């Protein structure tokens, strides 16, 4: 995840292996959500994989997660803007494509399985792990190999596709769009803090406390 890896063949190999392994584990977890549920499987994978990233590259991970007031404010603004766009676009999209409403209702049933309070508490470690894996290891590896913007776009595509086994076209589309937004924040700030704060705020508002289908 750090800039030094580009000049260290062993570091590059380790980073690439971790990125590929994390994507494979995430894909397997997504394929297991049917019998086990989204929270224990995807959430558990995020926490375990994020812990592995911290263990294997603590210095780089800590640097990427170091907050400043500017980075936190940027994340809040981005998360608020993304939530506002979601509330504005959802009614229009459901009128144009009615299947979105049914798909969204099924997603909310899964995401609201635990109480909102319990889910809100679980979000912090889950999102920290998710950002360390996707905007940290995976995106950093792809950017190093392909260049900044191709790496950001491909990381968002992979992030969306590994959610496909869950069986929700809406989730795949949302993962792609949100992955692009969070990936751009990571790229332009050289930090995970804005993406993490934005991700947390969007999830709290749109997934848990002000869901789209109840407005």
Q: Work out the pLDDT band at 7, boundaries 50, 70, 90.
A: low
Question: Count of domains in the chain?
Answer: 1
Q: How many percent of the chain have pLDDT more than 70?
A: 95
For residue 200, give the nearest of 102, 91, 124 by alpha carbon.
Answer: 124
Q: Is the pLDDT of residue 104 over 90?
A: yes
Q: Work out the pLDDT band at 164, boundaries 50, 70, 90.
A: very high
Task: Report the distance separating Cα 56 and Cα 50, nearest Å.
Answer: 10
Q: pLDDT (tens digit, 9 = 90+) per residue, 74-95?
A: 999 999 999 999 999 999 999 9
| Helix, strand and coil percent figures for the chain, each rounded to 5 | 85, 0, 15
SS3 106: helix
Range of the domain at 206: 3-214
Q: Work out the pLDDT band at 10, boundaries 50, 70, 90.
A: confident
**pLDDT in the model for residue 93:** 96
Contacts 24+ apart (CB under 8 A), 51-55: 51/129, 52/18, 52/22, 53/1, 53/18, 53/22, 53/129, 53/132, 53/133, 53/136, 53/137, 54/132
Contact present, 14 and 140 (Cβ < 8 Å): no
Q: How many percent of the chain have pLDDT more than 90?
A: 87
**pLDDT in the model for residue 36:** 87
**pLDDT in the model for residue 68:** 98
**pLDDT in the model for residue 214:** 63
Task: Report the distance separating Cα 104 and Cα 89, nearest Å.
Answer: 13
């Amino acid at each position: 995840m750090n800039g030094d890896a580009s000049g260290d063949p062993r570091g590059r190999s380790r980073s690439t292996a971790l990125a590929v392994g994390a994507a494979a584990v995430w894909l397997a977890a997504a394929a297991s959500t049917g019998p086990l549920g989204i929270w224990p499987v995807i959430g558990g994978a995020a926490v375990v994989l994020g812990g592995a990233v911290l263990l294997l590259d603590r210095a780089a991970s800590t640097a990427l997660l170091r907050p400043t007031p500017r980075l936190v404010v940027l994340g809040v603004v981005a998360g608020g803007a993304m939530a506002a766009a979601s509330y504005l676009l959802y009614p229009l999209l459901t009128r144009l494509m009615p299947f979105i409403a049914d798909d969204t209702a099924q997603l909310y049933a899964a995401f609201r399985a635990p109480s909102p309070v319990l889910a809100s508490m679980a979000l912090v470690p889950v999102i920290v792990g998710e950002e360390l894996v996707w905007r940290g290891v995976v995106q950093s590896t792809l950017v190093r190999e392909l260049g900044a913007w191709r790496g950001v776009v491909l990381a968002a595509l992979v992030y969306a596709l590994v959610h496909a086994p869950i069986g929700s076209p809406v989730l795949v589309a949302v993962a792609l769009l949100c992955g692009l937004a969070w990936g751009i924040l990571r790229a332009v700030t050289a930090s995970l803090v804005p993406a993490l704060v934005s991700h947390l705020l969007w999830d709290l508002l749109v997934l848990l406390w002000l869901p789209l289908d109840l407005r």
